[in-house]
Chain A
Amino acid sequence: MLQGQHLPLWAKPALEALKKISLVGPEELSCLGSAGPPRIKRAVDKGQLHPSVAMERAPCLELYLDQCATQDGLVPALSPLFSPFVPYDVYTPNPSNPEMTLESHLEEIKETSDDFSSVDLIFLPDELTQENRNHTVIKSQHETEENSRTQNHQNKLPLLSKQDVELGFQGSSLSNPQAHLCPGPADSALPSPENPSPHTLPLSIAPMTPVAPASECSGIVPQLQNIVSTVNLACKLDLKKIALHAKNAEYNPKRFAAVIMRIREPRTTALIFSSGKMVCTGAKSEEQSRLAARKYARVVQKLGFPARFLDFKIQNMVGSCDVRFSIRLEGLVLTHQQFSSYEPELFPGLIYRMVKPRIVLLIFVSGKVVLTGAKERSEIYEAFENIYPILKSFKKG
């Protein structure tokens, strides 16, 4: 099918990779002639341009590729072709610097032309794509880790945005991409992939972890300290009876109109109201909060009430972490006045109200940061990744 046709330069590594996974035979590869963008090729054919010089005209290649892209609307598809490392360019509504991407990718091709096994298989029929998806995923993971350590990915900086992190959590069926980015202290607090995304990726691209260059990644993962959740037991409760029959309950109607119950594992406290609503606090993770709420419901059940477990919802999550350098709060309040509130007469920390995501951060001079107001774990991580570069800019007093 490819006989007599000259393929553009960018297709060659793709075909080499395909050959590796034995989808493309050697005869198809041989048809690759002196590949190059049509203009350069024509110039070379006419003898106006020496072939070696033609290779240096890399910028022309981008223009050619842009042309191709506009012609067949495959701009997103091109980027994964070059790099297994930035798949989420696909989702950015505004691929801001496609030329820069391609340029950097081109450099990479020259360096690591062997590593393109995790290639965009969009050209192939679906069944083949499906088989090789796992294949490529595993390979790409290894490569990501290797390459993030050996290579310099600074060119990829402008392309990654906050959206990437979000998408990383929604679209990826792998565990936290950040774990791959910054091995080390992150390992201890990896979030478990609890909710496999119900919707698959729009394009049939192997899910790959995005790499943020070392300068952008903070390497610190906030630890969850407290989860507040509510659940509806859906039956009227007799608080006096609960307080009488349960050892771990306290009830003082004059002080507060609810029973305060505690369990040891997971170490939590619950407020149980006579309407049947319950608030569970003190858990360190969402799953622990849910387990604890179920245990309280079971206690209430055993006391003879027809308790159910409806509308379990996490209402608030609190996390904390340490950036390990001191922060000039006076400077921060000057530059970010619309978000910050710093009143040393009242409170030693700076209160930063982030708009997106809607999280309140307490920032202290010692570098400790407390994040609160989240409904999802990802909001805390996102908020911290947003604040870290801001704090770093205030590092030097």
Chain B
Amino acid sequence: MPGAGRCPDCGSAELVEDSHYSQSQLVCSDCGCVVTEGVLTTTFSEESNLREITYSRSTGENEQVSRSQQRGLRRVRDLCRVLQLPATFEETAITYYQQAYRHPGIRTARLQKKEVLVGCCVLITCRQHNWPLTMGTICTLLYADLDVFSGTYMQIVKLLGLDVPSLCLADLVKTYCGSFRLFQASPSVPAKYVEDKDKMLSRTLQLVELASETWLVTGRHPLPVITAAAFLAWQSLQPAGRLTCSLARFCKMANVTLPYPAASRLQELVAVLLRMAEQLAWLQVLKLDKRSVVKHIGDLLQHRHMLVRMAFQDGSAGMETQEKEQQRQRQRQRKEEVGGSTSGSLPGKRPASPALLLPPCMLKPPKRSCPTPPISTVTGDENISDSEIEQYLRTPQEVRDFQRAQAASQAAVSVPNPP
């Protein structure tokens, strides 16, 4: 019997919950004495039969919506409206927030984390509906740190056990390029820089596909790649007037922040295009460089599948040929040192073998080789010599010196600067 009360009249413990005209009462089954009645007020003797527990142990905490949760739910709705998301997204995001809030780790978290949680719920909703929203955008809107955001995001995905699909690159290209302010002439955008949206979009998409095929996208943030691709697409559509425009100026004109890695992505993409150009007969003779290749991007993209296959060899087979190449080069160097460069048997310049289709991090030479450590024969139970331990201990003299030095530095710190 909950409440463990006793009847004040007969002292029996047999208390039964009964209702008298829909008012629940606690009645003693022996003598019929009404122990407690009513919900609105309780007498002192009645209260001794009630069981009181702390709020945190009651279910009140779960049933009520706390103020901070209400605030969080309001923030979720506001964020969805700001991003102009469909109505269904709002409901899903609200559900995720409520689900997350049930976990004690989230309920007792700091306000900063709860704020960031709002963004996480919206992001997960968008990802699940293939709506391209980047974490950077959300962090900017919430004035949040990407580190805090990433920690909360990973935690909540694990906590709720959600399946979050990857960012859809094609949709991201469309929304990101659509945000460029280059499609209408304005005071900041001269007429020759204005571009047709559809043409630019399609070419950017093709360039991003090419980048993804040639390992420039895996493991990297998608946005700089898209920026670089958009820039190349825009330049190639009217190279005559636009080759002089730099990436930074392009982004400024388009009213888009230039992501820092975009410059290096641009270099990589241009290098890939140059390799492809070497395979086209009518471009080989032109001896293109990183600027002039932009003029021919249209042609290169038209035949990109075939050119990529021709220009690059498979990474795995490539590793062996690369090693053989290096060996041959070393042998050639040795021959040159020994026999002089006048021997006719040395070939002049070997035709370049197809480049390796590998991510840039694998193509760069390793910064430092990590030799395998020698096999240690440590058993863990060896004797530890005293001298080895003594080397780590201070002599009494050193201890005194150290204490004196510490005291002196403390005194110097504590004395305020003379006025």
Contacts and interface: CB of A to CB of B under 8 A. Distances in A.
Interface stretch (B103-111, B114-122, B216-224, B285-293): B216-224
Interface string A243-269: 011111000000000000001011000
A246 B314 contact: no
Contacts of A299: 389, 392-393
A2 interface: no
A325 B217 CA distance: 17
Contacts of A365: 215, 218-219, 359, 361-362
Interface residues of A, number: 53
A295 B388 CA distance: 9
A345 interface: yes
B279 interface: no
Interface of B: 134-136, 146, 150, 153-154, 157, 163, 165-167, 213, 215, 217-222, 314-316, 319, 357-359, 361-362, 372-373, 375-382, 384, 388-394, 398-399, 402-403
A145 to B, nearest CB: 20
Name which of A328, A330, A366 has the most chain B CB atoms within 10 A of its CB. A366
Contact of B389 (A298, A324, A346, A349): A298
Given A223-B372, A285-B376, A396-B316, 20 more contacts: A190-B375, A246-B394, A265-B388, A266-B378, A284-B373, A287-B376, A288-B376, A291-B378, A291-B381, A295-B389, A298-B384, A299-B389, A302-B390, A324-B319, A325-B319, A330-B217, A337-B163, A344-B219, A345-B135, A366-B361
Interface string A36-60: 0000000000000000000000000
A364 interface: yes
B161 to A, nearest CB: 10
B393 A397 contact: no
A159 to B, nearest CB: 29
A286 interface: yes
A346 B215 contact: no
Contacts, number: 128
Contact of A325 (B316, B372, B380, B388): B316
A311 to B, nearest CB: 15
B163 A345 contact: no
A223 B373 CA distance: 9
B380 A291 contact: yes
A287 B379 contact: yes
B308 to A, nearest CB: 10
A29 to B, nearest CB: 47
Instruction: Give the most central of B361, B378, B379: most A CB within 10 Å.
Output: B378
A72 to B, nearest CB: 46
A128 interface: no
